[in-house]
Structure 1
Amino acid sequence: MTAPTIETTHVGSLPRSERLRALLTDSDGRNDEAFEAAVAESIRDVVRRQAEVGIDIANDGEQSRIAYSVDVTNRLRGFGEGTVEREWPSDLDDFPDYAEELLGDTENIGGPVAQEPIEYVGEDALRRELSRFDEAVAAEDVEFPRRFHTAPSPGAVLRFTETAYHDSDEAYLFDLADALQTEYEVIAETGAILQIDAPDLLAGFTLTYKDDSVAEFRERVRTHIEALNRAISDIPDEQIRLHGCWGNYPGPHHRDVELDEVIGAFYEADVGGLVVEGANPRHQHEYRTFAEHPLPDDWRLIPGVIDVKTNIVEHPEVVADRLERFADAVGDPERIVAGADCGFETVVEGANAVHPAIAWKKLEALVEGADLAAERLA
């Protein structure tokens, strides 16, 4: 029997160079020639290293962004001055000493505040961001079967911003969706897989909507999916994958919502794939969800099989075991793509747990484990 093909990918953010980190955190240094040169050099590095490791579905590592979700607000008009504050995640409320040690003594997550209707004005800047990957691939003389590019969901942008203009969060959510439609369509025009980063659909339960019951949160997820579907209505389903996670921080996560409580709402999304955590110790049982709630026809599942919150490098056998469990649950290994739980450097200044050098070693284990799982599943 011919061995199945198990492709490999990751979630988006990859380690940045020290030089680039310094420029990204200097607001005066993000738009000059030195910044552009540092971004180009850093993207070339992550493109080359993805090729060396053997990643099939690659990206630019989000090198030009200071954060995975806030950066897009630079391409939106309608925001003004203000301070966005959030409480700690509910799991960290139970361990305040650890919370302060992990995240510091401030709750300010720094996002803008909407003061008028939201409009998309950043098409030229986005096209420049998209072009850098092709330039790096050509410069490094490498090839990948496919590429992907990430963009935050409307609900993710809502999480890191606030509004002083809209009558309700729902009105703000749909205004964001209408504005972000351009972002999504421009990405899709390049032929890249559009990855929608939507932590609001899982992590929102402990981060943003701490007072919701599970039933209330499930309905909120449905509303967020409805807004997303409006924004991606003109993009083929098979070109989109949806990424949900429980929050990329090394907390106890004991108050996370279970995947099977919301998976039905996830399945209402007009997408062709789902990226979900599978290595996080709190959620390694979640593969059973896909046996009990079968994946929609023509969807692919991209389970995380390496954990981005620990410097332990998974053995390829461990990666293969995880992939086999998901393949058995889905019923077809060809519908599985090996991925990571989340990004390795989602925020330049944040609690990124994995040392940059170890991140690449973990991706090596990902590829080796995918090859091993494919052999076993033949």
Structure 2
Amino acid sequence: MAAPTIRTTHVGSLPRSDRLRALLTESGDRDEQAFEAAVTESIRAVVRRQAEVGIDVGNDGEQSRIAYSVDVTNRLSGFGEGTVERAWPADLDDFPTYAEELLGDTENIGGPVATGPIEYVGEEALQQDLARFDEAVDAEGVSFPARFHTAPSPGAVLRFTETEHHDSLSEYIFDLAGALQTEYELIAETGAILQIDAPDLLAGFTLTYKDDSVADFRDRARTHVEALNEAVANVPDEQIRLHACWGNYPGPHHHDVALEDVIDVFYEADIGGLVVEGANPRHQHEYRTFEEHPLPDGWRLIPGVIDVKTNVVEHPEAVADRLERFADAVGDPERIVAGADCGFETVVEGANAVHPSIAWQKLEALVDGAELASERLA
């Protein structure tokens, strides 16, 4: 029996250059020429490194974004400046001293606030962003079997913004979905896999909706999935993968909602792939969910097999063990793609736990572990 091919990917954000990081965070008028040069240089670097490491399904590393979640609001009308204040995650409420050391004031997110109807106005900016990956691939002389491009879910944008215009959160999320539909379709038109980042479907339980019961959260998540389905109505299911995680911060995570409590809601999404955490020590057992709740026909599973909240570099044997467990749970290793639990630098200024140099070593372990698992599963 021939060995299965377990492809490798990651979740999206990769370490930025020091120069780009400084330009993204500087106040006042930015030198756009210097910024474009830094973005170009940084994307070329992450494209080259992904090819060197052996990543199969690569991307631009989200280099031009200051944060994965609110960058898209620059391409939407209807937003004004404001300060969105957020409480600490529920798990950190139990450990206030540690929470202060870890997050400080970083949970006070600077806007934006919706003050009018939401419309998509960023086609030109998005097209420029999408073109950068192809330009970098050509410049570096590398290739990838496939590429992906990330965009936040309507619920993720709702999580990091507020509205003064809409009468309810339900009205707001469907307004966001209508606008984001354009972004999703433009990404898909390039042939890239559309990865929709939806931490609202798991992390929302401890980050945003701390007073929800599990039943209440399931109802909320179902509304978020309904909004997402409206937004991707014109994108083929097989071209979409949904990424949900429990929050990319090194907290105790002991109040996280269980995957089995919401997996049936996930299965209502019109998608073709699911990206979930599988290396986080709080959730390593969750592979069993897919034994009890089989993956829908035609879907691929992209389990995280490296943890992005620790600087420990996984041994390839440990990576292979994780992949084998998921392959056994799903029943077909060809439906498994090896991934990471989350991004390595989801925001430029925040609690990114992994040092940039170590991130690439962890991705090498991911690739080595996928090759080992493929051999074992032959």
Quote the residue 1:259 is aligned against. 259
Q: Matched residues in 1 for 2:105 and 2:62: separation?
A: 28
Deviations 1:152-204 (A, max 9, x none): 00000000000001000010000000000000000000000000000000000
| Contact 2:81 2:111 (C-alpha < 8 Å) held by counterparts | no
Deviations 1:101-121 (A, max 9, x none): 000146411221101110110
| Contact 1:77 1:120 (C-alpha < 8 Å) held by counterparts | yes
Quote the residue 1:42 is aligned against. 42
Change (3 A) 1:365 1:143: same
Structure 1 segments of 4 or more deviating over 2 A? Answer: 27-31
1:122 aligns with 2:122: yes
1:215 aligns with 2:215: yes
Deviations 1:17-63 (A, max 9, x none): 00000000014465611000000000000000000000000000000
- When the two chains are superposed, the root-mean-square deviation of aligned CA atoms in Å is 0.8
Provide structure 2 residue ranges, at least 5 long, that are not aligned to the other structure: none
SS of the residue aligned with 2:84?
Answer: coil
Quote the residue 1:88 is aligned against. 88
Change (3 A) 1:147 1:376: same
SS of the residue aligned with 2:111?
Answer: coil
Quote the residue 1:224 is aligned against. 224
Shift of 1:263: 0.1
Deviations 1:266-313 (A, max 9, x none): 000000000000000000000000000000000000000000000000
| Contact 1:115 1:165 (C-alpha < 8 Å) held by counterparts | yes
Give, as a single letter, the amino acid of the residue that structure 2 aligns with 1:359: A
Quote the residue 1:3 is aligned against. 3
Change (3 A) 1:100 1:71: same
SS of the residue aligned with 1:143?
Answer: coil
Quote the residue 1:353 is aligned against. 353
Q: Matched residues in 1 for 2:29 and 2:249: separation?
A: 28
Q: Matched residues in 2 for 1:67 and 1:316: separation?
A: 30
Q: Matched residues in 2 for 1:233 and 1:78: separation?
A: 23
| Contact 2:10 2:58 (C-alpha < 8 Å) held by counterparts | yes
Shift of 1:227: 0.0
Give, as a single letter, the amino acid of the residue that structure 1 aligns with 2:73: T
Q: Matched residues in 2 for 1:31 and 1:187: separation?
A: 27
SS of the residue aligned with 1:329?
Answer: helix
Q: Matched residues in 1 for 2:112 and 2:144: separation?
A: 37
Quote the residue 1:170 is aligned against. 170
Quote the residue 2:77 is aligned against. 77
Q: Matched residues in 2 for 1:247 and 1:31: separation?
A: 33
Q: Matched residues in 2 for 1:234 and 1:106: separation?
A: 37
SS of the residue aligned with 1:282?
Answer: coil
| Contact 1:59 1:133 (C-alpha < 8 Å) held by counterparts | yes
Shift of 1:80: 1.3
Quote the residue 1:269 is aligned against. 269
| Contact 2:80 2:115 (C-alpha < 8 Å) held by counterparts | yes
Quote the residue 1:245 is aligned against. 245
User: Please, what TM-score do these two structures have when normalized by structure 1?
Assistant: 0.99
| Contact 1:23 1:29 (C-alpha < 8 Å) held by counterparts | no
Deviations 1:131-169 (A, max 9, x none): 000000000000000000000000000000000010000
Q: Matched residues in 1 for 2:128 and 2:179: separation?
A: 19
SS of the residue aligned with 1:360?
Answer: helix
Q: Matched residues in 1 for 2:13 and 2:148: separation?
A: 12
Q: Matched residues in 2 for 1:315 and 1:265: separation?
A: 34
Quote the residue 1:292 is aligned against. 292
| Contact 1:275 1:304 (C-alpha < 8 Å) held by counterparts | yes
Quote the residue 2:55 is aligned against. 55
Shift of 1:221: 0.6
| Contact 1:48 1:142 (C-alpha < 8 Å) held by counterparts | yes
Change (3 A) 1:377 1:179: same
| Contact 1:29 1:35 (C-alpha < 8 Å) held by counterparts | no
Quote the residue 1:139 is aligned against. 139
| Contact 1:202 1:245 (C-alpha < 8 Å) held by counterparts | yes
| Contact 2:25 2:66 (C-alpha < 8 Å) held by counterparts | yes
| Contact 2:149 2:194 (C-alpha < 8 Å) held by counterparts | yes
Q: Matched residues in 1 for 2:341 and 2:374: separation?
A: 20
Quote the residue 1:194 is aligned against. 194
Q: Matched residues in 2 for 1:299 and 1:228: separation?
A: 17
Give, as a single letter, the amino acid of the residue that structure 1 aligns with 2:364: E
Quote the residue 2:156 is aligned against. 156
Shift of 1:83: 1.2
Shift of 1:224: 0.2
Q: Matched residues in 1 for 2:260 and 2:128: separation?
A: 39
Q: Matched residues in 1 for 2:8 and 2:161: separation?
A: 33
Deviations 1:317-364 (A, max 9, x none): 000000000000000000000000000000000011001010000000
Change (3 A) 1:124 1:265: same
Quick check: 290-299 or 30-39, which moved more?
30-39
Q: Matched residues in 1 for 2:89 and 2:288: separation?
A: 26
| Contact 2:106 2:350 (C-alpha < 8 Å) held by counterparts | no
Q: Matched residues in 2 for 1:343 and 1:105: separation?
A: 21
Change (3 A) 1:348 1:333: same
Q: Matched residues in 1 for 2:366 and 2:108: separation?
A: 35
